Amino acid sequence: MYERATAEGIASLSTARFAHFSVTGTWVYRREPCKTCGYYWQETVAPLLVQWEPSSEMIGDFSWDGPFGYVFVVKSGVAEMLHSMHLECRFLPVDYVKPDRKRSTVPFPYDGPTLLWGQCTETVNVDMKASQVNVESSCSECGDVRYTFRDSGIIVRRKQMQQLKMFRIATNGPALTFVTEEGRRLIENAALSNIAFSEAGQIIE
């Protein structure tokens, strides 16, 4: 006699596809746009205005502004988890703008899970020479300085880091959030959807 086999589910592999969005505001102007260099001197403030784009109706634990975006929103339970991990991130309100197209888009009016805008609160200076960050342009009129944008090859000195687990780098402006190995481990252990990590650089003494 053969033992009866226990039924076991099978699953096929496919790409997990999640909804992404565009940021349509809210913008405020910190000062008049510069007539010389054209810099707008604007920043995004809460509420983050999210416009879902044709992508998917499935909302991940994280959602991003486009498939390669930097701005992220998270489900409220995820915000609580990240907060309890003591990651340097605050969570601000989100509002929704009617999508341009309905197809493969999160329905509007939005009645999905509560989402919050994750905004990293800490900024560190990189070792500019070691990271090959240069002044790309500077405006003598308004004082705006542009540096080489870096998403990899970043070198940060240990003394800059204190005990931070999540940070941005000053020369990139507000774009792109980084985590230390510890920050990455904490988030990975939580097995959250729609977040991935790429190697970005090193902390050295």
- Applying CB under 5 A, which residues contact Zn ion? 34, 36-37, 39, 139, 141-142, 144
Q: Provide the minimum distance between the beta carbon of 150 and Zn ion in the complex, in angstroms, as a whole number.
A: 23
What's phi and psi for 164, nearest 5 deg?
-65, 145
How many Å apart are CA 40 and CA 185, to the nearest integer?
38
Q: Provide the minimum distance between the beta carbon of 142 and Zn ion in the complex, in angstroms, as a whole number.
A: 3
Q: Provide the minimum distance between the beta carbon of 133 and Zn ion in the complex, in angstroms, as a whole number.
A: 20
Say which residue the tokens 């339970």 belong to.
Answer: 77
What's phi and psi for 178, nearest 5 deg?
-115, 155
Q: Provide the minimum distance between the beta carbon of 30 and Zn ion in the complex, in angstroms, as a whole number.
A: 13
Question: Among residues 137 and 162, whose Cβ is nearest to Zn ion?
Answer: 137
**What are the structure tokens assigned to 126, written together?**
């990189």
Instruction: Evaluate whether 38 touches 52 at the Cβ level (below 8 Å).
Output: no
Instruction: Evaluate whether 41 touches 31 at the Cβ level (below 8 Å).
Output: yes
**What are the structure tokens assigned to 124, written together?**
């560190």
Question: Among residues 33 and 67, whose Cβ is nearest to Zn ion?
Answer: 33
Q: Of 89, 102, 94, which Cα lies nearest the Cα of 54? A: 102
Q: Of 176, 150, 175, 139, which Cα lies nearest the Cα of 40? A: 139
In degrees, rounded to 5, the angle at the alpha carbon of residue 105 between the alpha carbons of residues 14 and 53 is 95
Question: Among residues 95 and 144, whose Cβ is nearest to Zn ion?
Answer: 144
Residue 6, Ramachandran bin (φ over 0: left; ψ between -120 and 50: alpha; else beta): beta
Question: Among residues 34 and 130, whose Cβ is nearest to Zn ion?
Answer: 34
Question: Among residues 36 and 121, whose Cβ is nearest to Zn ion?
Answer: 36
Question: Among residues 34 and 170, whose Cβ is nearest to Zn ion?
Answer: 34
